[in-house]
Amino acid sequence: MLTMLMALLTGCAATSASPSVTEFNTPPDNVQPELSNAIPHEAKAAPVVEQYINVWAKIQHANTIDVHDDAEVRKQRNFFDDKQRFMNQVGERAEPFLYYIVSQLEARNMPLELALLPIVESGYNPLAQANGPAGLWQMIPATGRNFGLTINSAYDGRKDALASTDAVLDYLQHLYDTLDNDWINAVAAYNTGELVIKAAIDKNKAKGKPTDFWSLGIPAKRVQTVPKWLAFIQIIRAPNHYGLKIPAIDNRPVLDRIPAPNGVDIGQIADAAGLSKAKFKTYNPGFRQGVIPSKGKYQIALPLENIGLYQENQDKLYAQKRYDSQSYTVKSGDSLGSIAAKFGMSVKALKQANNLTSDRLKIGQELTLLTPMATNDNQPEAVKVSSNKAKVDTKVSSKSSTKAKTPTKPADKTAAKATTYKVKSGDSLDKIARKNKVKLADLMKWNQLNAKSIIKPGQELKVTE
Strands 246-247 and 21-22: antiparallel
Under a CB-based contact definition with an 8 Å cutoff, are residues 248 and 52 in contact? no
Q: Evaluate whether 441 touches 173 at the Cβ level (below 8 Å).
A: yes
Beta-carbon contacts of 247 under 8 Å, excluding residues fewer than 6 positions away, are 20, 21, 22, 87, 88, 90, 91, 92, 95
Surface-to-core class of residue 330, CB atoms within 10 Å of its CB (0-12 exposed, 13-18 middle, 19+ buried): middle
190: enclosing H helix or E strand: helix 183-192
- Catalytic status, residue 121: yes
Indicate the angle between helix axes 71-80 and 225-237, nearest 10 degrees.
60
Write the single-letter amino acid at 433: A
DSSP summary character for residue 327: E
Q: How far is CA 336 from CA 152, 210, 350, 355, 361, in A?
A: 21, 61, 8, 13, 8
Cβ of 14: how many Cβ atoms within 10 Å?
Answer: 18
One-letter amino acid of 270? A
Q: How many CA atoms lie within 13 A of 105 on its CB side?
A: 23
433 in Cβ contact with 440 (< 8 Å): yes
The residue annotated as part of the active site, out of 23, 113, 121, 194, is 121
Coil, helix or strand at residue 207? coil
Residue 141: phi, psi to the nearest 5?
A: -55, -45
Helix (H, G, I), strand (E, B) or coil at 200: helix
Residue 43 corresponds to which amino acid?
A
Residue 77 contacts residue 30 (beta carbons within 8 Å): no
Helix (H, G, I), strand (E, B) or coil at 131: coil
Any bridge partners for residue 301, and if so which? Answer: 257
CB contact set of 77 (below 8 Å; sequence gap of 6+):
231, 234, 235, 242
Could you tell me which of 100, 91, 32 has the C-alpha nearest to residue 67? 32
- Separation CA 60–CA 52 (nearest Å): 11
How many residues appear in the chain?
A: 465
Active site amino acids: 121
